[in-house]
Amino acid sequence: MSQVYDRVALIGLGLIASSMFWAIKRAGLAGEVTGYARSAETREIARKIGLCDRVCDSAQEAAKGADLVVLCVPVGAMGAVAADIVPVLKPGATVSDVGSVKRHVIEAVSPHIPDGVHFIPAHPLAGTEHSGPESGFAELFDNRWNLLVPVKGSDPDAVARLRALWEGMGANVDEMDADHHDLVLAVTSHAPHLIAYTMVGVADDLRRVTDSEVIKYSAAGFRDFTRIAASDPTMWRDVFLTNKDATLEILGRFTEELFALQRAIRTGDGEQLFDYFTRTRAIRRGIIDAGQDTDAPDFGRGKTTS
Ligand code: NAP
């Protein structure tokens, strides 16, 4: 794979930025990668582990002269970070982001983008429950989707270049409209996270009743909820504050279905339960067939409990 950009700047040095750095290095996609994080502690760790060719002490210093600047901070912080770096952006540069919500980021960042600079929002559909500069790894994006959400009038060459970078990092790339993105992600990621947070919260309340049985006998179903519910609180607070309408729409539908299943249990309607679970099992099959998860029992953890 050959170099796509001379200079890439990563603003925010957490899971996604550090994974991007290692993936860019793996394939030689950039001449130099600069990085900046707001806390001295994160910058110190980054320097120690060799994350970025040059760790800068300001976002402006990192972004100055870059051909691509990627905003890798929580969704609620994108606007302020964009406002900070615009004075140093070079003409023809591209600004992108990796935020989990797109309409809000477009509204927060677009007004700051000067003429002659391209703004191409993006969202890699890959992550883990870990965060911070040490959590990244080069393989995070391999065979995962990255959605590009070009704004109206985007320069096709700039979009093609960003696509080449993500493909070079191992991702499959698609383009999507911002509102559609936010609805799809509300179904596939945002609402499931809220449900996991809720389920773990319920179990935590119950723990006080059952002493530590919930943890001691924690089976695969619950453990998977706790993994999701361990995700970064700042990131997920911002997701729900900024993808409000789509998440509420999906949670409304979820509540209706939950009531229907609750009723089936109460009335002993086994047929309805069986049919419902048969339909959902087919969805799992589809995800495995699409190469987006492993068919190994218990996600390949080894021992299976359910
Ligand atoms: P992370 O590991 O928690 O890192 C966040 C980075 O942003 C840190 O360097 C942090 O700086 C910085 N930051 C936090 N609040 C800030 C603020 N108010 N102003 C400036 N900088 C701030 O996060 P991440 O998981 O990489 O997520 C980054 C972005 O990617 C988010 O927008 C998220 O929605 C998106 N995303 C995440 C996932 C996922 O699964 N994690 C997947 C796809 C997309 P300090 O270290 O100095 O605190």
Q: Do residue 94 and residue 188 come from a single domain?
A: no
Ligand 1 atom closest to residue 75's alpha carbon, by position in its atom list: 32
Query: Band of the pLDDT at 215, cuts 50, 70, 90?
Result: confident
Residues 169 and 88 in one domain: yes
Of the residues 160, 176, 192, which one is the last residue of a structural domain? 176
Domain match, 12 and 62 both = yes
Are both 170 and 64 inside the same structural domain?
yes
The closest-lying atom of ligand 1 relative to the alpha carbon of residue 39 is 47
In a domain, 160, yes or no: yes
Distance 235 CA to ligand 1 centre (A): 6
Q: Which of 130-134, 241-245, 284-288 has the lowest mean pLDDT?
A: 284-288
Last residue of a domain, one of 144, 176, 208: 176
pLDDT (average), residues 113-138: 96
> Could you give phi then psi for residue 113, rounded to 5 degrees?
-75, 120
pLDDT of amino acid 210: 64
CATH number assigned to the domain comprising residue 14: 3.40.50.720
Q: What angle do CA 39, 42, 44 make, to 5 degrees?
A: 105
Within a domain: 257: yes
Instruction: Give start and end residues of each alpha helix (H) in the chain.
Output: 15-27, 40-49, 59-63, 78-85, 103-109, 156-168, 178-185, 191-210, 213-216, 220-229, 233-242, 244-267, 270-289
Atom in ligand 1 nearest the alpha carbon of residue 125: 43
Domain closes at, from 148, 176, 204 = 176
pLDDT in tens, 159-206: 999 999 999 999 999 999 999 999 999 999 999 999 999 988 888 887
- CATH for 248: 1.10.3660.10
Give dist(CA 66, CA 287) in Å, integer. Answer: 38
Atom of ligand 1 nearest to the CA of 128: 40
Please state the pTM of the whole predicted model: 0.93
Averaged over 72-81, what is the pLDDT?
A: 98
Q: Compute φ and ψ for 58, nearest 5 degrees.
A: -145, 155
Decide if 38 is inside a domain: yes
Q: Which of 20, 42, 45, 100 to mutate to test the pocket of ligand 1 (most atoms within 8 A of CB)?
A: 100
Q: How many angstroms separate the alpha carbon of residue 216 from the centre of ligand 1?
A: 32
pLDDT at site 206: 77
Residue minimizing CA distance to atom 48 of ligand 1: 39
Q: pLDDT tens digits, residue range 220-276?
A: 778 888 889 999 999 999 999 999 999 999 999 999 999 999 999 999 999 999 999
Q: Find the 223 Cα to ligand 1 centroid distance in Å.
A: 24
What are the Cα distances from residue 232, in Å, to 184, 210, 227, 239? Answer: 21, 28, 11, 11
Query: How confident is the model over 145-155, as pLDDT tens digits?
Result: 999 999 988 99
**Could you give the CA distance from residue 158 to residue 94 in angstroms, rounded to a whole number?**
7
- Which residues line the pocket of ligand 1, CB cutoff 6 A? 12-17, 37-39, 42, 72-75, 77, 81, 98-100, 123-124, 127, 131-132, 232, 234-235
In a domain, 304, yes or no: no
Same domain, 166 and 40: yes
In a domain, 278, yes or no: no
How many domains does the structure of the chain reveal?
A: 2
pLDDT at 73 over 50: yes
Both 84 and 120 in one domain: the answer is yes
Residue 286 inside a domain? The answer is no
CA of 207 to the centre of ligand 1 (A): 31
Amino acid 305: pLDDT: 38
Which of 15, 45, 103 to mutate to test ligand 1, by most ligand atoms within 8 A of the CB atom? 15
Measured in Å, residue 27 CA sits from the centre of ligand 1 at 24
The answer to which of 110-124, 141-155, 173-187, 275-289 has the lowest mean pLDDT is: 275-289
Ligand 1 centre to CA of 1 (Å) is 28
Q: Is residue 58 part of a domain?
A: yes
Average pLDDT over residues 21-39: 98
- On whether both 95 and 210 belong to a single domain, the answer is no
Q: What is the reported pLDDT for 208?
A: 67
Per the structure, the complete domain to which residue 235 belongs is given by: 180-267
Looking at the structure, tell me whether residues 167 and 229 fall in a common domain.
Answer: no
Task: Tell me, yes or no, whether 136 and 209 share the same domain.
Answer: no
Residue 163 shares a structural domain with residue 34:
yes
Is the per-residue pLDDT at 304 higher than 50? Answer: no
CA of 212 to the centre of ligand 1 (A): 33
Structural tokens at position 289? 């067939």
Q: Looking at the structure, tell me whether residues 149 and 258 fall in a common domain.
A: no
The SS3 of residue 227 is helix
Same domain, 163 and 191: no
In-domain check, residue 294: no
